[in-house]
Amino acid sequence: MTSTATPQTTLERGEFRNEAFIDFTKPENRKAMEDALRQVKGMFGREYPLVIGGKKITTTDKIKSINPSHPEEVIGIFQKASVEMAKQAVEAAEHAFEKWRKVPVAERVACLYRAADILHKRRYELDAWLCYEVGKSWPEADADIAELIDFCEYYGREMMRLGEPQKLTPMRGEKNFMKYIPLGVGVIIPPWNFAAAIMGGMTIAAIVTGNTAIVKPSSDSPTIAAIFIDILYEAGVPREVVSFFTGPGGTAGEALVTHPKTRFIAFTGSKEAGLRISEQASKAQPGQKWIKRTVLEMGGKDAIVVDEEADVDAAVEGVALSAFGFQGQKCSACSRAIVSEKIYDEFLEKLVERVKKMKVGPVEDPTNYMGPVINKAAMTSILGYIHQGQKEGRLMTGGKHTGGDGYFIEPTVIADVDRKARIFQEEIFGPVLAVTKAKDFDEALSMANDSEFGLTGAVYSQNPKKIERAEEEFHVGNLYMNRKCTGALVGAHPFGGFNMSGTDSKSGGQDYLLLFLQAKTVSEKVGATK
């Protein structure tokens, strides 16, 4: 199944531009997606091996990826790798690094561009896999794949820039320059919520900079990772350079992180898991020669401030889309709306009316705006927070499991929430929005910053002075004015947060690839050699 977009095919790709999204209102695009959904459903239940050192490996114990809309459907069957296999993977990746780091930058970049072309051709199919495996609506799935294409294109251009010798201040009598060199073996631990974009973005950042990568996807989303890694092989990346590794995080995953030959870990996921990785990576193991580098993105408790001078209708739309897009399962999702008391009642009435129009159900049906949450454990946890929230505020709409056997939860709005309430402070990662009243802009900013996280935020106001204040005082890595707080685009909105939201890694920005490189300065005295 192919997309209608025309890919670029040469190494000289021109200026970067973001991938356009597919318009599913067009009959031809809708039919193509329906065809892709049928095609992909026919591939359910296949088994996918580990790939370690370029070799396919199977195990006795298996992991099943299921469809959260229809939990009886098995998307794919995967291997449960052991601690010993983790050690083998690191050793094999270290061996492959010695060759891959010497491959010219232009050749590594060409692999990314070819991968982007393949993603173009298979776009509808990949959208369909995301719909089934993680419960994304058609537009949400397509945005995920579009972002992955953007990462391939953007990081390719960035590596061409960084691959050149970097100019330094001239020194009389010397020839000096600085160059960037790769780190070594990287462990890539992506989340399930952006199962294509974040997984692929971290992986290609590691390999285009000359490192080797062991990709350990979430057990909720291994299929799209297996498919993407096959695309990298098809694009010319040697099989030894990228390993595909599935298994329990508490044993095999920890073995990857703690191995003395692991050089860096790129992780996106929960605060608790990220802190655990940071702690493990900080402990030098016998035979370890370096301080391990960690690139961590660990979630958020994101707020949108709605000022009395805001366009209320625009704010309602922005909050609703930010809170309930992909069932609120984005680290950037709005989970706190902090609203001026002067417009609070008007805003709340319009918000509830808007949210009640959001249809929930299986995402193969494009009329459903919201699909399922990722698994049964998530559903249980979210419903527990809703129960707690009803004690801490006023339930305005939603609050229940819906839709039969799938993991569906109604979009839920809880009003009059105190700033110290659990649902105001703790990351829920589901379709639950806490709405809180602020007496003025000072209190609104204070509430917005009253969090251990600092990832995204937004302010709706038409007062330029308040916008300027927010720019200075709202402590988040990605701040948006008069627009929703989700939907960061590669190149336009480098993404990463402060505090417990992670290491502010700024994926999709000019600094990001530097996290996978180290700088080496070379100075030569002129005339000293013959």
Active site residues: 297, 331
Q: Which residues make Cβ contacts (< 8 Å) with residue 304, sequence separation at least 6?
A: 315, 318, 319, 322, 334, 336, 337, 338, 457, 458, 459, 460, 484, 485
Cite the DSSP H helix spans in 409-485. 422-425, 441-448, 464-473
Q: What is the spatial distance between Cα 362 and Cα 137, in angstroms, rounded to a whole number?
A: 9
CB atoms within 10 A of CB 123: 27
CB 79 within 8 A of CB 50: yes
Q: Quick one: which of 219, 248, 216 has its CA closest to 229?
A: 216
The answer to whether the CB of 263 falls within 8 A of the CB of 93 is no
Calpha distance 204→232 (Å, rounded): 9
CB 382 within 8 A of CB 432: yes
Residue 267 burial by Cβ neighbours in a 10 Å radius (0-12, 13-18, 19+): buried
- Please name the residue that has the structure tokens 């790939």: 51
State phi, psi for 173 to the nearest 5 degrees: 85, 0
Sorted by sequence, the CB contacts under 8 Å of residue 368 that are 6+ apart come out as 137, 359, 360, 361, 362
Q: Residue 251 — left, alpha, or beta (φ > 0 → left; ψ -120 to 50 → alpha)?
A: alpha
Distances (CA, A) of 142 to 147, 252, 340, 367, 429: 8, 32, 35, 15, 21
Contact 301, 438 (CB under 8 A): no
Q: Structure tokens of 241?
A: 């350079």
Q: Print burial letters for 98-114: b (CB count within 10 Å at least 16), e (below 16).
A: eebbeeebeebbbbbbb
- Provide the strand spans (E) within 440-510: 453-454, 456-460, 478-481, 498-499
Contact indicator for 505, 295 with CB cutoff of 8 Å: yes
Q: Report d(CA 197, CA 31) in Å as an integer.
A: 24
